[in-house]
Amino acid sequence: MRFSANLGFLWADLPLPDAIHAAKAAGFDAVECHWPYDTPAADVARALAETGLPMLGLNTRRGDLTARENGLSALPGREADARAAIDEGLAYAVAIKAKNLHVMAGFAAGEAAQASFLANLGYACAQAAPHGITILIEPLNHYDAPGYFLRSTTQAKSIIKAIAAPNLRLMFDCYHVQLMEGDLTHRLHDLRPLIGHIQFASVPDRGAPDHGEVNYPHIFAEIEKMGWAAPLGAEYKPGGPTEETLGWLVRARGQRRD
């Protein structure tokens, strides 16, 4: 197995270019981030070139943080803002050669929200296609993100099928899926054709994947059986110095065959 460090949580105390170097030193195979927009893309691209690590993806902006927004693309009447966030995300992804953009839905519900999300995702897929970029959507759990529009893999599957764009895929976050649906092994295998990226963290505390109710050595083995070759995203909250939480990575490195 190969692993990606999500720098939204890991080494979050460091400037993003320094965090990329820290991930390389720790033995990660790739990196990913949440909202890198305060860091010039040229600085990120330079750090990626220096380390040889690919940046797997980033998120669209959440919106107005003072209003506690968490995405814009399912908000009726906010199409201009949503598409500006998509354009910004794609431009940044192109500049750092990231291959995935997670389009965040936001807090919404109902038919109007569904229509807005479908329209904005269709726009995102069309704009991303010439750059070879995949658009990701991710169900979030209702404990961390109550009221978020996209809540389950079943809902995500329906949306992906409705849009039918080859570059729209599911971000399967084991942490969120376990909290909302469980049955990770079967869901991973069943949804494999739709998955564009896989992330993980312990459940229920979202810490390092070495404790809690999910047996990650088993899950990693099942993912390997699926023929998954891309790095898995370590998107967990270290709760202290990141280096002190990496025993799981040392063990996984000792077991992997690549």
Closest to 79 in 3D by CA, of 53, 57, 106: 106
Q: Which residues lie below 8 Å from residue 72, measured CB to CB, with a gap of 6+?
A: 60, 61, 62, 63, 78, 81, 82, 85, 104, 106, 120
> Cβ-count burial of 148 within 10 angstroms (0-12 exposed, 13-18 middle, 19+ buried)?
buried
Whole-number Å distance between alpha carbons of 18 and 11: 9
Q: Residue 215 in contact with residue 248, Cβ under 8 Å?
A: no
Helices 247-255 + 216-225 axis angle, to 10: 40
Closest to 20 in 3D by CA, of 41, 48, 57: 48
Q: Residue 137 in contact with residue 167, Cβ under 8 Å?
A: no
Catalytic residue numbers, as ranges: 138, 235
Residue 249 parent element (H or E) = helix 247-255
